[in-house]
Amino acid sequence: MYVLLTAMPHLKKPRKVEPLSKLWDRKAQKCGLRHTVYSVNGDEYTGDWLDSKKHGKGTQIWKKGRAIYDGDWKYGKRDGYGTYSKLLSATNDDSACYEGEWSEDQRSGWGRMYYDNGDIYEGEWLKNKHHGQGMLRLANENRYEGNWKYGKKNGHGKFFYQDKGQLYEGFWVDGVAKCGTVSDFGREEAPTPTIYPIPKVHLLDVRSVLMETQSTYHGE
């Protein structure tokens, strides 16, 4: 008996084909420096990318809020040093501007804020609030220098009443002055000075009295 042997056809190994969905995702991945990328809502971003997230140096423009951020990014969030300004709707003048440090998309660290009402804050921030040492200069030139906690005056500080020519020095609790001393300061140059100067304090040890009162409040 004879057995007829036939050659088996050579089967080619099928080529791996990448699904179109994965191909599109891979091509859409943004890494490195790119030109301006426009969002469907009209926002614009020009700068560095990493794994499709803003990362490095970049400028973001928000169309709806007419706001601009220029600075450092980290995994899609403002992080590092940068400036943020919001424009008035009628003009192109800055209505509010912040320049300083950011963390996790919030003002944290040192920074300077120009408010649209003319006030200026310069100092430490934490999660978008004044926190730590800082100075707030009001539009009328009066100013506070001292400690802050979560956006409120807390601890020791000085408030300069430039309009009256007086200085209050003491301590605050949740934005309220609790105990301190008031003295004349630049009264001669003040636009609306008090009628009479403040008499001198005749306590032998003013600081000890203030410290004792301060400890009472802290003990509450």
What would the 3-class secondary structure string for the chain be? CCCCCCCCCCCCCCCCCCCHHHHHHHHHCCCEEEEEEECCCCCEEEEEEECCEEEEEEEEEECCCCEEEEEEEECCEEEEEEEEEEECCCCCCEEEEEEEEEECCEEEEEEEEECCCCCEEEEEEECCEEEEEEEEECCCCCEEEEEEECCEEEEEEEEEECCCCEEEEEEEECCEEEEEEEEECCHHHCCCCCCCCCCCCCCCCHHHHHHHHHHHHHCC
Confidence (pLDDT) at 24: 45
Confidence (pLDDT) at 8: 46
**C-alpha dihedral over 121, 74, 47, 98, to 10 degrees?**
0
Confidence (pLDDT) at 27: 47
Count of CB atoms within 10 A of residue 146's CB? 20
Instruction: List the single range of 20-34, 56-70, 81-95, 151-165 with lowest mean pLDDT.
Output: 20-34
Give the model's confidence band at 111: pLDDT under 50 very low, under 70 low, under 90 confident, else very high.
Answer: very high
CA–CA–CA angle 90, 96, 97 (5° rounding)? 130
CATH of the structural domain 124-220, one choice from 2.20.110, 2.60.40, 1.10.10, 1.20.120: 2.20.110
Confidence (pLDDT) at 87: 82
Give the model's confidence band at 22: pLDDT under 50 very low, under 70 low, under 90 confident, else very high.
Answer: low
Give the model's confidence band at 115: pLDDT under 50 very low, under 70 low, under 90 confident, else very high.
Answer: very high
**Is residue 215 pLDDT above 80, yes or no?**
no
Query: With contact defined as beta carbons under 8 Å apart, do 185 and 160 qualify?
Result: yes
For 133-192, the pLDDT digits (tens) are: 999 999 999 999 999 999 999 999 999 999 889 999 999 999 999 999 998 877 777 777
For 39-52, the pLDDT digits (tens) are: 999 999 999 999 99
The predicted model scores a pTM of 0.75
CA gap 125, 113 in Å, rounded: 10
Which residues of the chain are in CATH 2.20.110 domains?
Answer: 124-220
CA gap 149, 136 in Å, rounded: 13
Residues 6+ apart with CB under 8 A from 172: 146, 147, 152, 153, 154, 155, 157, 178
CA gap 43, 124 in Å, rounded: 30
**Is residue 124 pLDDT above 50, yes or no?**
yes
CA gap 84, 215 in Å, rounded: 40
Confidence (pLDDT) at 94: 60
What average pLDDT does the chain have?
83
Instruction: List the single range of 99-103, 136-140, 208-212 with lowest mean pLDDT.
Output: 208-212
Confidence (pLDDT) at 5: 45
